[in-house]
Amino acid sequence: MDLHVKSERMVQIISGILLFVLLGGIYILNPAIYRDLWHVMTCGSMEETIAYINQFGIWAMVVSFWVDVLINALSVLPSIFISTANGVLFGVIPGIILSWLAETTGVIISFLLMRTLLRESAERLIKKSPYLKKLDDFSGKNGFKVMLIARTIPYFPSGILTALGAVSKISVRDYALSNLIGKFPSTALEVIIGHDLVMLEENMIRLTVIVILATAVYGGMWYWHKKKNC
């Protein structure tokens, strides 16, 4: 076993231990937290999500931030309910900033975990498939641009993009920067639309304008990309 493989295995072991200690420590402090979080994240109820976050009072924003980070780090559940709750509870602008920073932090953590713990298996998979190898090479040369554009699309499954980034040759710096920039417009749209849907009577005009503009912009991007590749 060469030094590189030994170092990678050691990082995997240390990362696993740290993650276990962190999750275990949180459980010791609050044994009910994972049960409550799982219920809130899977219940699909906007009212319950808002009530859960709001119960923490002055700590509500901190709790919401870390719940949003956790959801995006796990990459198994959508964060739309948390984003909407942030807009409703804290206001549209603070909600956008909070959700943007939390989601970006979460997908970067997810990327690092996937690349660190699963990279070796991913590389073996890529070598077996010519298509995936081409994808990996493409991602290495144009990874920043590809990830930046992909992250601007609202409501797109975050875990898929994170997994593609993890098995590609995109650098950690390019991945982090492309997500930080690309996540802002998509998160802003999700927070505004979610907020205005909950408070529809007060924000019908703004919601209509936002939806029309977003459809025009993303429709134009799709048409330009399709025409360019014809």
Predicted pLDDT at 102:
93
CB distance 171 to 143 below 8 Å: yes
Identify the pLDDT of residue 38: 74
pTM, two decimals, is 0.75
3-29 vs 33-43: helix crossing angle, rounded to 10? 100
Please give the pLDDT value at position 95.
93
**Rounded (10°) CA dihedral 43, 184, 15, 172:** 150
Alpha carbon distance 196, 201 (integer Å): 8
How many C-beta neighbours within 10 Å does residue 22 have?
10
Are 192 and 80 within 8 A, CB to CB? no
SS (H, E, C) 19-76: HHHHHHHHHHHCCCHHHHHHHHHHHCCHHHHHHHHHCCHHHHHHHHHHHHHHHHHHCC
Pairs from 195-204 (Cβ < 8 Å, separation ≥ 24): 195/84, 195/87, 195/88, 195/92, 195/95, 197/84, 198/46, 198/84, 198/88, 199/88
Instruction: Say what the pLDDT of residue 132 is.
Output: 54
Profile the chain (230 residues) by mean pLDDT over runs of 10 residues. Answer: 56 64 68 72 75 86 87 78 89 93 90 74 57 56 80 80 80 89 91 84 75 73 62
Task: Give pLDDT, residue 72.
Answer: 85
Answer left, alpha or beta for residue 154, where phi above 0 means left and psi between -120 and 50 means alpha.
beta
112: number of Cβ within 10 Å = 17
For the chain, the distance separating the N- and C-terminal CA atoms, rounded to the nearest angstrom, is: 48
State residue 160's pLDDT score.
76
User: What does the alpha-carbon distance between residue 87 and residue 67 come to, in Å, rounded to a whole number?
Assistant: 15
